[in-house]
Amino acid sequence: MRIGELAERAGTTTRTLRYYESRGLLQARRAENGYRTYDEGDLRMVRQIRTLQDFGFDLEETRPFVDCLRAGHPAGDSCPASLAVYRRKLGELDTLISQLQSVRTEVGAQLARAELEASAEVPGGPEPRCELNREDEDR
């Protein structure tokens, strides 16, 4: 298949495929007329790269998966190097989740404090000015 068909079937652009080629992740063969040609194996590689990128892997992290497919394995994640990338990525995700849980706890505590202070306001007193409410400034 030619580059346009590969791009369409893989759900990407020809520009992206050329970029993958420039990074050594995709290897085009050339027809007699000079056009790039690809096969089903190339489609599997591009789909593997796209899936991993959708999961948050950077392009270089996809290399072991591509190498695994090139080595003839039926799946790009059946090689030790690919498994190592998965493990490293899971560690990164666990760290991010922990950080987000800490931030959520802090935001929840700030909300609880703010709600408590707001409910303790003296009834009938001046309404607090909110910095986000620009209409008050226009009056």
Question: What tens digit of pLDDT does each residue of 90-125 get?
Answer: 999 999 999 999 999 999 999 998 888 887 765 655
CB 54 within 8 A of CB 89: no
- 121: Cβ–Cβ under 8 A, 6 or more apart, which residues? 128
Say if residue 15's pLDDT is above 90: yes
Supply φ then ψ for residue 105, to 5 degrees.
-60, -45
Higher per-residue pLDDT: 129 or 11: 11
Predicted confidence at residue 122, as pLDDT, reads 54
- 4: Cβ–Cβ under 8 A, 6 or more apart, which residues? 14
Within 11-123, residue ranges assigned H as helices are 14-22, 40-54, 63-70, 80-119
Predicted confidence at residue 135, as pLDDT, reads 59
Q: In terms of Cα–Cα distance, which of 51, 80, 86 is closest to 67?
A: 80
| pTM score above 0.75 | no
Band (13; pLDDT cuts 50, 70, 90): very high
Predicted confidence at residue 116, as pLDDT, reads 85
| Amino acid in the structure at residue 46 | V
Higher per-residue pLDDT: 119 or 57: 57
Predicted confidence at residue 23, as pLDDT, reads 94
Q: In terms of Cα–Cα distance, which of 30, 31, 10 is closest to 20?
A: 10
Higher per-residue pLDDT: 128 or 2: 2
Q: In terms of Cα–Cα distance, which of 40, 70, 64 is closest to 52?
A: 64
Cα angle for residues 68, 15, 83 (degrees, 5° grid): 20
